[in-house]
A and B are shown apart, each in its own frame.
Chain A
Amino acid sequence: MQGFFTSETFARAVEFFSFQYSFTVYALLASILVGAVCAVVGAFLVLRGMSLLGDAVGHATLPGVCAAFVIVGAKEMGALMIGALVSAFIAALLVGAISDKPRTRPDAAIGIILSVFFGIGILMLSYIQNSPTAAQAGLDSFLFGNAAAVSREQLYLLAGVSVVLISGVAIFFRYLAVATFDPVFARSIGIPTRVVHYGLLGALSLAVVVSVQAVGVVLVAAMLIIPPSSALFLTKRLPGVLLIGALLGVLSGALGAFASYLWEGVATGPAMVLCAGFFFGVALLFGPRGMFKDRGGRRVRLAD
């Protein structure tokens, strides 16, 4: 194996920061936006114990993307995004529907939907790749993400959706916070908890769909789950979790895009996730609410 840090690597680093290629700029901006919007939406998933649902929704976009490609016949971004959104949202609703019925617990429901949808997606992907159309070459980048493949239109869409979702969280912050923390109290003061629930599912689906090009279907859940989880070790208030989570998401995204550019064959998704995971480890061990400062959990005091 060649050395990681050769002069070639250094040259590429300089190249990246010269911002002379628009695709590197788009890649960096896309990764930053993905990091921010996934962290902000993901914080509420994590706090509601719905992290694995994020994973299911992420994986479930694959059949939608493939179906849209087959129907349209070409890699038309708008169609692919709509396909992804439809299958993501259907998956989210199905998880809810199955968990409601007896004998299937929520975690099994998530596992079932995740694997079935993803399996269908992989089958469709192999079928597409065996067909004679040349345009399918870009489709497998949806698996593990390729931030450099983000087009200007996709970037605009990502920016628009991020602005909408992040503003939405800011505007509805009180409802989201109380409905997540204490649903019974929330309903007692008139907060529509079912609307909040479906609103979050919608936000999740949107965030996932605009992120899969950069991060990939397989690992998009990580960008939803890991930065906010790290933030929980660093702050004791919810606004801080959102801000610090977003910051860590942005850093992980940027570093991931950068690493992906430096080394050939490194997909953006895994690179971002490794960075996010590293930050999580540091926060877990050394954060103010982490293992060493706080023994990582509740200190139950025996006397008042």
Chain B
Amino acid sequence: MTYALEVKGLSVSYGRGPVVNKMSFALDKGDLVGIVGPNGAGKSSLIKAMVGALTPDEGSIRVGGDSGKKATRRITYVPQRGEVDWDFPVTVEDVVTQGRYGKVGLLGRFGAEDRRLIAEAIDLVGIGELKSRQIGELSGGQQQRVFLARALAQQGDIYLLDEPLVGVDAATESAIVEVLRNLGDGGKTVMVVHHDLSTAREYFDKILLMNKDRIAFGPVDEVFTPQLLQKTYGGRLTVLGSGSVAVMAD
């Protein structure tokens, strides 16, 4: 069976031992998956390895049957806001335009289709009137939307987002979640490193619980249980009376 995205035995290390240990899972088209785990669990490293920015020690990544460079080209990436240089001299439109570089290449001209996709991506996330602003002039929520627009402009099949909802206002959060839902409904595959346990159940169809190792993966109702969350978070987690849990912030 060909999955939309299949990861097998993926390990990534930073010299002090693996931060991602033999990770395996398979996603179908239209899946909206949340990656959940404590800080240092390797969630960002997993995403970066999937996108080709980190070299794994072992393991394979297949996108719809393709592997290697062909596979990673079909994956789009939305970074954590904290990792971006907001003083960099680029405007909103410049960043979203970068989304087309993969297709247009180093010296290629931008066609009408490229321009349309860029404009459409900017409108879809609702930052049309900001397109000539330097990115440092935006609020947190607006900044997050810029990188989502860039990913949309890429027209990939797989979307990987690293904590996109940290520090954004409520309006942006719903806007982003709606865009992700629409992507899923449109047959795209979306994987999100999510920081907020209280909303994970509501936003995602499936959850991957990880803490360097894969703890569990599957439909949210099966995986999001106090037992499995306890296993993921260890001592930082307390089970409350009603079956819900409280996790100590890091």
Q: A181 near B106 (CB under 8 angstroms)? A: no
CB < 8 Å neighbour of A301 from B48, B77, B106, B139: B139
Contact with B along A165-179 (1 / 0, CB 8 A): 000000110110110
Q: A178-B101, A232-B89 are in contact. List 11 more A-B contacts (CB 8 A).
A: A171-B106, A172-B106, A182-B79, A185-B150, A188-B77, A190-B52, A236-B89, A237-B94, A238-B89, A300-B139, A303-B139
Q: Which residues of A contact B150 (CB under 8 A)?
A: 185
Contact with A along B71-83 (1 / 0, CB 8 A): 0110111010001
Interface residues on B, range: 35 or more
**Which residue of A is nearest B106, CB measured?**
A174
Per the 8 Å Cβ criterion, residues 82-111 of B in contact with A are 83-91, 94, 98, 101-102, 106-107
Q: A301 near B138 (CB under 8 angstroms)? A: yes
**Which residue of A is nearest B154, CB measured?**
A189
Per the 8 Å Cβ criterion, residues 47-77 of B in contact with A are 48, 51-53, 69, 72-73, 75-77
Q: B98 near A178 (CB under 8 angstroms)? A: yes
A53 at the interface (CB under 8 A from B): no
Q: List 22 A-B contacts (CB under 8 A).
A: A47-B89, A181-B90, A182-B84, A182-B98, A185-B79, A187-B53, A188-B53, A190-B52, A190-B73, A235-B89, A236-B89, A237-B91, A238-B88, A238-B90, A238-B94, A297-B87, A298-B86, A299-B136, A299-B137, A301-B137, A303-B169, A304-B169
Q: A183 near B169 (CB under 8 angstroms)? A: no
Q: A298 near B51 (CB under 8 angstroms)? A: no
Q: B101 near A174 (CB under 8 angstroms)? A: yes
A241 at the interface (CB under 8 A from B): yes
| A-B residue pair count with CB separations less than 8 angstroms | 92
**Which residue of B is nearest A238, CB measured?**
B89
Chain B residues with a Cβ under 8 A of chain A: 48, 51-53, 69, 72-73, 75-77, 79, 83-91, 94, 98, 101-102, 106-107, 134, 136-142, 150, 154, 169, 171-172
**Which residue of A is nearest B102, CB measured?**
A189
Chain A residues with a Cβ under 8 A of chain B: 47, 171-172, 174-175, 177-178, 180-185, 187-190, 232, 235-238, 240-241, 289, 297-304
Q: Which residues of A contact B73 (CB under 8 A)?
A: 189-190
Q: Which residues of B contact A302 (CB under 8 A)?
A: 139
Q: How far is the CA of A174 from the CA of B95 in the complex (A)?
A: 11
